[in-house]
A and B are shown apart, each in its own frame.
Chain A
């Protein structure tokens, strides 16, 4: 099992350009998440999904859009990149709550994005 994978690993954008970050998981998890990590700020939730075809806003959703067309994939889009979106982006997934409820999320390796 590859777990959670993210594409690309690095990217440099110019202000105003658009891009899509891809997250894929092979654990058959229902829930998927997109976070950004900035120095001293920890991990902040951008958007998340509790199942195929669903999305919801997190703590810092402005400037980002997401789609979950397939259960195993969760896409994060930047329509018009800004320098404030320079960050490291992490995707995570989690099992659907059930017997033996687990809050543990499994993270991908991250995408380092620089917007100039």
Chain B
């Protein structure tokens, strides 16, 4: 039973528009959430994170929103650029946890 789910395997957006990637989780004990970006033939790289005490965190073009009551988080990329084309993974951790639980990933394609 996957505790972290990314229900959209792929997403295609036009350059300059907003990309919204979604992630749902089932474990209410998750306390911290991260987004990773992965290019082909490379390892995942950390993008942005959010603690459960917040509902929004922003870093440049990237914003993560957390809705704890819905057990849902989303990553917004504005404006989207072709270089953003990659696979995006959301991950979750328990408070002071040693491990991350990852979603299945969403492949984002930004068309010029």
> A: which residues have CB within 8 A of B?
4, 31, 33, 35, 40-45, 48, 50, 56, 58, 90, 92, 97, 101, 103-110
Contacts and interface: CB of A to CB of B under 8 A. Distances in A.
Given A40-B9, A103-B100, 11 more contacts: A42-B104, A42-B105, A43-B102, A45-B99, A103-B93, A104-B34, A104-B46, A106-B46, A107-B44, A107-B45, A110-B42
B112 interface: no
Interface residues of B, number: 25
A26 to B, nearest CB: 15
B98 interface: yes
Contact of B104 (A41, A97, A108): A41
What is the interface of chain B mostly: helix, strand, loop, or mixed? loop
Contacts of A41: 104
Q: Which of B36, B42, B43 has the most chain A CB within a 10 Å cutoff?
A: B43
B32 interface: yes
Contact of B49 (A42, A58, A97, A104): A104
B89 A109 contact: no
Contacts of B41: 109-110
A97 B98 CA distance: 9
Given A42-B104, A42-B105, A104-B34, A48 B45 contact: no
B104 A48 contact: no
Nearest to A49: B98
Interface in B1-60: 4, 6, 9, 32, 34, 36, 41-46, 49
Given A103-B93, A104-B49, A43 B98 contact: no
B98 A48 contact: yes
B65 to A, nearest CB: 18
7 contacts: A40-B105, A48-B98, A90-B43, A90-B44, A92-B43, A105-B46, A107-B43
